[in-house]
Amino acid sequence: MIDFYLKLDNEAAMSTVLSDFYDEDGEFVSNTDDYAIDVVGVLHEPTGVTLTSDFEDIQYPEMQAIPGWHVNIRLLNETFKQTVESLNTLHGVSPESPKRIWF
């Protein structure tokens, strides 16, 4: 198994960038015997500011969106390797600590 972490400009770019993963009816196919795709979407990270809720006086970190639309791909064999490696060249990121991982 090989994992790839992609960052697209936005959700609308998904149908173009990941066009090889749509069927003849235009439906996105997220899992096959060859791959699994986890559409993560928008990720968030703490800003460093701590907020307090008005309701129960609970403290929590303020969060901000990380730019981009995030998609994880796990290849289960070699069938889509060239396709995904090409996508990785254009859209791949190497997160130091991925926010979502495969189990």
Give the global pTM: 0.86
Mean pLDDT of 1-6: 94
Residue whose C-alpha is closest to residue 86's, from 1, 11, 21:
21
Q: Give the whole-angstrom CA distance, residue 103 versus residue 94.
A: 18
What percent of the chain lies above the pLDDT cut of 90? 85
The domain ranges of the chain are 2-91
Q: Give the whole-angstrom CA distance, residue 67 versus residue 50.
A: 21
Average of per-residue pLDDT values in the chain: 95
- Do 92 and 4 contact (CB within 8 A), yes or no? yes
- Do 4 and 75 contact (CB within 8 A), yes or no? yes
Q: How far is CA 42 from CA 20, 39, 66, in A?
A: 22, 9, 7
